[in-house]
Structure 1
Amino acid sequence: MSLKNLIKNAIADYKRFRKDQRKYSNDNIRYYNFWALPNSDASWFTQFIKHRNINPNGKKITFLSVVGNPKISNFIRSPKIFFTGENIENQEHPSFIFKKYHLKNHDLSLGFSYLDDKKYLRFPLWILYIIPSNASFEDIKSLIDSYNDPKHRHNNNRENFCANISRADNNGIRKTIIDLLVPIETVKCAGSFLKNTNDLQEKFGDNKIEYLKTFRFNICPENSNTKGYVTEKLFEAIIAGSIPIYWGSHNRPDPKIINQDAVLFFDPENPQLLFDKVNLLWKDKNAYEEFCRLKPFTDHAAEVIWEWLNILEEKVKSVI
């Protein structure tokens, strides 16, 4: 391509950037290509940096994500930090186009993958959903202990069988699991996908956690199966005290954090295993109560999460 065309394309990209940008500012911390700001995941980073006094001199920091054009980063000065809430390893997902940019165009990259690069930190999306940005180690330990308490999972309000809350089913896994379990009892679908109830909206004001607290099981698979790709879905089930029915991350989601024995995994090669387990836990009170005594988090989960936060602090300081 000629220099003239390169310049022409760069100018066109910049014009699109100025027109379509999703920019939100909070003091000296800016966000591009993020979603649903300012009261969303992005504000977590702002509060984290403020709480830990990571940026005492007020240097401008830019966070970029995957809702938009990856070339936006070409027009932004450092320090630039990339964060993805989507699986950029999935070739079928629109965010895949960010894969070749996130390490090259940014000073620090945060995501799901297990990459060995000094500019990268594995920092999965679910942390932003369950860990407050200003949490101390004691706070994190207290949260984990509360979710590990058998009483959190086993209570008398769980009169409903199984819930699925989703907008779509791109790979067909959700429908497969739902069809598998329907012979046991009706699966309540409260999202736009296969919707058969309005209770989430009408009775619970769209509060997903409170809604799930009335169910024993929650179908919460990922949209794609990639090692390390673990989103908030599994953790929302745990926070609500529902038993997660999960598929994703090669059915080994964050093994240093999640007690794999406390999750029901769907194996497409042997769906009968899941059917038999769910059927048993639904119909056998003793089996259900015994399962509820399993801790969903490992004994060292709080320590692992705390280390993650400390490494994030050091990484952000290094790019500033």
Structure 2
Amino acid sequence: MSMKIQFRDFWGGYKAESNWFTEQLDKYGHTYVIVNDNPNVIIFSVFGNYQFQPKIKGCKNVYFTGENRRLVKDADLNLTFDNTSEHNNIRLPLWILYGYDKNMQLTKKNTNNFCCFVYSNNIQHRNNFCLKLSKYKNIYCGGRCLNNIGGRIKDKIEFQKQFKFCIAYENSLYPGYTTEKILEAYKSNCVPIYYGSTTVVDDFNPETFINAHDFESEEKLIEYIIKVDNDDSLYEKYLNKPIFSDKWLKIFNDPDEKYFKNICKEIIS
């Protein structure tokens, strides 16, 4: 019998019929249909009120957040950024949903363009850092925030490929809250300048990005970035290494794919 799955309270434009969850369920041979009424499984997120309401009985309630929100205690399954198994939680960081090559490495590129910054949401700590760093060299801002190129870019990855560095600052700070921002810098073959989760090294190889948390001040961070920008050998130390942490490489290279199969099993069972 097909499981009836309903998606609720996801972000605008989310495709209930085709998304990361349906791709995983298809991959591992689970039979289901997407419905609007009378579901067996409700997969809900944070863009609505269901997270705060009493959960519908007689079906499985699965909470997923791509935002910096904590788990929902009365959900049957939590898929969050939190690194805990309490309340049947599995850590599922948002970047996983954005697609990746498990063998990805940064490689040398033929450009002297310094750095880019592509954001739509005005976040004070992020904007302030960009403005401070831009006192050294111009930073090309292609999003809505601080735009200085005459309009918003159409393709973020292609735009970022022109630059050596990419500012990858999260909207907010929380251990484990690692989103697509650092991954999209890697996809653009830029060295990420990262600020956000203090446990980011659990996800990504610390030898492949500049971690703002390693510096006692923004001034020290900027001083180091300038040093790397002017020293090819130092810059190249970030290249030709796996971008993912050993933990995730082990998950990705598991021939039994236990991590992903387990998520599907927990959703359906």
Aligned partner of 2:176 in structure 1 is: 228
Specify the SS of the correspondent of 1:281: helix
Specify the SS of the correspondent of 2:166: strand
Is 1:166 aligned with 2:146?
no
Is 1:155 aligned with 2:103?
no
Extract unaligned runs of 5+ from structure 1: 1-26, 90-98, 132-142
1:108–1:299 Cα change, 3 Å:
closer
Please show how residues 107-118 of structure 1 align to structure 2 within 5 Å.
107-117=76-86
Specify the SS of the correspondent of 2:192: strand
TM superposition shift of 1:61: 2.3
In structure 2, which of residues 94, 97, 102 is the aligned counterpart of residue 144 of structure 1? 102
- Aligned mates of 1:41, 1:227 — CA distance in 2: 32
- Aligned mates of 1:249, 1:272 — CA distance in 2: 20
- Aligned mates of 1:244, 1:41 — CA distance in 2: 33
Runs of 4+ in structure 1 over 4 Å off: 56-59
Specify the SS of the correspondent of 2:263: helix
Aligned partner of 2:263 in structure 1 is: 312
1:159–1:76 Cα change, 3 Å:
farther
- Aligned mates of 1:303, 1:296 — CA distance in 2: 13
- Aligned mates of 1:266, 1:41 — CA distance in 2: 39
Is 1:190 aligned with 2:171?
no
| Amino acid aligned to 1:303 | K
| Amino acid aligned to 1:163 | C
In structure 1, which of residues 54, 57, 60 is the aligned counterpart of residue 40 of structure 2? 60
Are 1:31 and 1:42, in contact at CA under 8 Å, matched by a contact in 2?
no
- Aligned mates of 1:192, 1:200 — CA distance in 2: 6
1:240–1:316 Cα change, 3 Å:
same
Aligned partner of 1:34 in structure 2 is: 10
- Aligned mates of 2:162, 2:57 — CA distance in 1: 47
1:185–1:307 Cα change, 3 Å:
farther
Structural RMSD (CA): 2.8
| Amino acid aligned to 2:65 | T
| Amino acid aligned to 1:51 | K
- Aligned mates of 1:160, 1:260 — CA distance in 2: 23
In structure 1, which of residues 83, 86, 91 is the aligned counterpart of residue 64 of structure 2? 83
Are 2:4 and 2:32, in contact at CA under 8 Å, matched by a contact in 1?
no
TM superposition shift of 1:198: 4.0
TM superposition shift of 1:177: 1.7
TM superposition shift of 1:75: 4.3
| Amino acid aligned to 2:107 | R
- Aligned mates of 1:73, 1:49 — CA distance in 2: 27
Larger Rg belongs to:
1
Matched length: 258
TM superposition shift of 1:294: 4.1
Worse overlay, 185-194 or 66-75: 66-75
1:302–1:40 Cα change, 3 Å:
farther
1:273–1:168 Cα change, 3 Å:
same
| Amino acid aligned to 2:109 | N
In structure 1, which of residues 253, 270, 284 is the aligned counterpart of residue 231 of structure 2? 284
Are 1:221 and 1:247, in contact at CA under 8 Å, matched by a contact in 2?
yes
- Aligned mates of 1:159, 1:78 — CA distance in 2: 56
Are 2:165 and 2:190, in contact at CA under 8 Å, matched by a contact in 1?
yes
Extract unaligned runs of 5+ from structure 2: none
TM-score normalised per structure 2: 0.84
Are 2:41 and 2:267, in contact at CA under 8 Å, matched by a contact in 1?
no
Are 1:33 and 1:67, in contact at CA under 8 Å, matched by a contact in 2?
yes
Q: Deviations over 1:158-188 (max 9, x none)?
A: 3421111112233x22123212311321011
Are 2:209 and 2:238, in contact at CA under 8 Å, matched by a contact in 1?
no
Is 1:103 aligned with 2:47?
no
Aligned partner of 2:249 in structure 1 is: 302
Percent of matched pairs sharing the same residue: 26
TM superposition shift of 1:125: 0.9
Specify the SS of the correspondent of 2:237: helix
